[in-house]
Amino acid sequence: MAKVIISLGNDISTDDIYPGRFMATVLPAETPQFAFFDRTEFNAQLKAKAFAPGSIIVGGENFGCGSSREQACSTLKGHEVAVVARSISRIFLQNSINLGLQVVICPAIEASEGDDLLITADQVVNRTTGKTYDQVKLPAARKGIMDAGGLIPYTRARLMAKQP
């Protein structure tokens, strides 16, 4: 079970998640400081490590729209949060899988800041409201890459498994 740390609306862009003016900083170890930089209170809480690993950001439709910058995913992965959204933009979803950012597509999700969510293989349960929502399952290969921590750890593990 994990706590919702912020509930956002529709069309949260990569520029909201990781503002373009910080694109000179692209190292995954440095990007987290700029997560939701223009949402100053939330950014300060993230930087202060006020949230437990596995905490959840809830989004509406089209989460991660906008540019293809993968820093929007790496900045969130650096805070060890997960994203549950009604829909996720195509490029943000693929970047999340490649980097191992935990994302769940849940078209009917309703959750507020402070709610406790339980994510199962097929559903998201809002323990605070008692409601259960179906999630869109990712194809097994994509889920396997995300669960391995991203494309590089996934590939490394597969190559090492072939070693004698």
Structure confidence by residue, pLDDT tens digits, 86-123: 999 999 999 999 999 999 999 999 999 999 999 999 99
Which pLDDT does position 26 carry in this prediction? 78
**If you classify domain 2-161 with CATH, what class do you get?**
alpha beta
What pTM, to 2 d.p., does this model score?
0.94
Domain extent listing, the chain:
2-161
What's the pLDDT tens digit per position in 20-76?
Answer: 999 888 788 899 999 999 999 999 999 999 999 999 999 999 999 998 889 999 999
151-161 and 140-147 helices, crossing angle to 10° = 100
What is the distance between the alpha carbons of residues 127 and 144, in angstroms, rounded to a whole number? 27
Tokens of 13: 């862009």
